């Protein structure tokens, strides 16, 4: 059975030594009193919950799965409901929520650190509170005062959970095709009819009510995405005082049979004249839903980050103990019949690849969350705007780059374990299955790549990307002269220059042929991911160099991992850039009938 130990030292390294979040919070009035002691206490207690409550039911939840009992009734695996009750009793759902509605008001970056551990311990279970928090964010930003008063305290308190209902059998990414319809009633509510599929957490036994946020079309709505509205559709219709009334006309028709995340109830949801209430303005529901969708995209990145850490920990534990063969340079444990496989160079390549992507992506994800705190809480309006724009650019990268690496890392874990990795009892194959969905939902990674290149970079002529370039220049100005930083800064600068040139080339070609964006987008996003990781690995190496005289092996390991990243992983960008430059012709010239 796989184990999990919260990586507190690594998490605290990023939060305090690299990002210096305590200093950042002092500039935000709403978080000025949030100090290191409080942050560490929250993370440590959260880690205990993850390791002691959630991790032990991860494999059993996968094997048992959710069960459909007919008439819309679904039960979660053994222990899931009890874990939810402990989660709620400890106040965890309220961690980063608005105190006006019962939240604790802690920074988002603290919530992100906790979210990483939740996903390491049990991704399927973590989807229930994850989607609930997304529903909270959507209603906080777009709900009426009455809707906020009714729904937010109960979502924050854990009495109710939330979902997002977008996809239909004939329409996934292209939401402009959705057919679910909403008809207005005299009292201001609506009757909603249609079918939604792939609805995570759509029905379960963990909470007394489920609040579905449903996209639907009004009778006179324009065609396409400009004719979509958003509605609150509760499983049980609440009375004005929050007590539960009648069962609503939305039910789970069946559970989807999935490759992984078996402990989460992925449902086909039928709406048969279900009562709903409009969120925001008519025909502008997609704008409101994007709040939840973007939160979900960042959350999916954290799902894979959590799996990366868990897969790495179990890979290392196995590699240290598994005796197999002898070291090519001579026995390392001659008293044993064979050496542990960690002595072999290629095993180390796999372990270091896992480690470098996990630690680099942690820095990237935590930084993105700190920017969300700045976008919400910085007293300077220009700083809030700049932070919001940077988060907007980072969102598709966090979703796609981290989930791609999450699947890669889980697969490497399986390879390290060899045949045992393919066997259920060791747990690694579950990480592979669970990680695979993260590259698909909340917009496939190709969609994220198109969003990054088309909407977030080319649409503003690379202005936000250039602002990130200013951070690189600041690092170069402060440390580019140092011999001990050259191995980290030089490849960062080189890649930055190549990205600048590549972006201009794609932009020019796209003006003549829009397919050039689609042809280059996936390669481009991965290059940008490496540019971001190069920056953060250089920053982490700088901190580790400053502490290298302490004799602490933690910093020695950090430097070794940084060197591995720049020597063995970052060079991938050369092939990616060449591929991105190849253009659309070789992809589009073959007649579709000849495939």
Q: Which amino acids are annotated catalytic?
A: 442
- 123 CB burial (10 A radius; 0-12, 13-18, 19+): buried
First vs last C-alpha separation in the chain: 44
Q: CA-CA distances (angstroms) from residue 101 to 131, 382, 396?
A: 18, 28, 30
The answer for residues whose C-beta is within 8 angstroms of residue 183's C-beta and 6 or more apart is: 190, 191, 192, 193, 218, 219
How would you write 332-393 as a 3-class SS string?
A: CCCCCCCCEHHHCHHHHHHHHHHHHHHHHHHHHHHHHHHHHHHHHHCCCHHHHHHHHHHHHH
Chain mean position to CA 237: 31
CA distance 447 to 521: 9
- 321 CB burial (10 A radius; 0-12, 13-18, 19+): exposed
- DSSP classification of residue 329: T
Phi, psi for 33 (deg, rounded to 5): -95, 5
Question: E strands, 166-295, where?
Answer: 181-184, 190-200, 209-216, 229-234, 236-238, 244-247, 250-255, 266-279
Q: How do the residues of the chain divide into helix, strand and coil, expressed in percent and rounded to 5?
A: 65, 10, 25
225, 176 Cβ separation under 8 angstroms: yes
Q: How many residues does the chain have?
A: 595
CA distance 113 to 47: 10
Q: String of b and e for 500-517 (b: at least 16 CB within 10 Å)?
A: eebbebbbebbeeeeebb
Phi, psi for 344 (deg, rounded to 5): -85, 135
What stretch of H or E contains 587?
helix 585-588
Helices 553-564 and 345-377 cross at an angle (nearest 10°) of 100
Strand partners, 247: 236
Half-sphere exposure of 519 (CA within 13 A, CB side): 22
534, 492 Cβ separation under 8 angstroms: yes
CA distance 594 to 448: 28
């Amino acid at each position: 059975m796989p184990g999990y130990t919260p990586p507190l030292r690594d998490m605290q390294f990023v939060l305090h030594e690299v990002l210096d979040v305590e200093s950042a919070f002092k500039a935000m009035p709403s978080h000025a009193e949030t100090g290191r002691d409080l942050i560490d206490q929250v993370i440590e207690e959260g880690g205990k919950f993850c390791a002691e409550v959630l991790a032990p039911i991860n494999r059993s939840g996968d094997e048992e799965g959710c069960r459909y009992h007919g008439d819309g009734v679904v039960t979660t695996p053994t222990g899931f409901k009890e874990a939810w009750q402990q989660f709620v009793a400890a106040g965890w759902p309220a961690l980063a929520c608005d105190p006006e509605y019962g939240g604790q008001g802690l920074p988002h970056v603290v919530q992100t650190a906790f979210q990483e551990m939740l996903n390491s311990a049990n991704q399927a279970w973590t989807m229930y509170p994850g989607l609930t928090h997304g529903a909270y964010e959507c209603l906080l930003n777009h709900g009426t005062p009455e809707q906020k008063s009714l729904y937010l305290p109960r979502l924050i308190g854990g009495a109710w959970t939330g979902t997002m209902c977008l996809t239909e059998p004939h329409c996934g990414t292209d939401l402009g095709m959705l057919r679910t319809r909403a008809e207005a009633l005299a009292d201001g509510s609506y009757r909603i009819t249609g079918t939604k599929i792939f609805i995570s957490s759509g029905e379960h036994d963990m909470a007394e009510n489920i609040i579905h946020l449903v996209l639907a079309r009004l009778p006179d709505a324009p065609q396409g995405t400009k004719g979509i509205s958003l509605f609150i559709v509760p499983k049980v219709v609440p009375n004005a005082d929050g007590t539960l009334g009648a069962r609503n006309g939305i039910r789970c028709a069946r559970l989807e049979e999935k490759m992984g995340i078996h402990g989460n109830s992925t449902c086909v949801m039928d709406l048969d004249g279900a009562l709903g209430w409009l969120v925001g303005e008519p025909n502008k529901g997609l704008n409101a839903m994007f709040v939840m969708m973007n939160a979900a995209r960042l959350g999916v990145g954290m799902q894979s980050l959590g799996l990366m850490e868990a897969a790495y920990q179990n890979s290392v534990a196995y590699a240290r103990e598994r005796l197999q063969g002898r070291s090519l340079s001579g026995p390392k444990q001659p008293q044993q019949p064979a050496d542990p496989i960690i002595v072999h160079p290629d095993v180390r390549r796999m372990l270091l690849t896992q480690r470098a992507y996990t630690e680099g992506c942690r820095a990237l994800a935590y930084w993105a969350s700190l920017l969300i705190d700045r976008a919400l809480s910085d007293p300077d309006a220009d700083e809030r705007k700049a932070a919001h724009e940077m988060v907007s650019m980072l969102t598709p990268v966090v979703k796609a780059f981290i989930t791609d690496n999450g699947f890669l890392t889980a697969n490497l874990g399986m390879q390290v374990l060899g045949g045992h990795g393919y066997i259920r009892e060791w747990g690694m194959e579950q990480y592979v299955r669970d990680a695979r969905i993260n590259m698909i939902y909340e917009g496939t990674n190709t969609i994220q790549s198109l969003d990054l290149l088309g909407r977030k970079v080319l649409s503003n002529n690379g202005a936000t990307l250039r602002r990130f370039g200013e951070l690189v220049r600041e690092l170069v100005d402060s440390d580019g002269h140092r011999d001990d930083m050259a191995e980290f800064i030089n490849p960062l600068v080189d890649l930055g220059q190549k990205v600048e040139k590549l972006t201009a080339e794609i932009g020019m070609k796209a003006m003549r042929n829009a397919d050039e964006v689609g042809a280059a987008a996936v390669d481009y996003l991965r290059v940008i991911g490496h540019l971001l990781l190069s920056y953060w690995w250089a920053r982490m190496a700088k901190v580790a160099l400053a502490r290298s005289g302490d004799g602490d092996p933690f910093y020695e390991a950090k430097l070794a991992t940084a060197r591995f990243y720049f020597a063995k992983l970052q060079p991938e960008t050369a092939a990616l850039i060449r591929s991105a430059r190849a253009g659309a012709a070789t992809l589009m010239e073959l007649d579709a009938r000849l495939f």
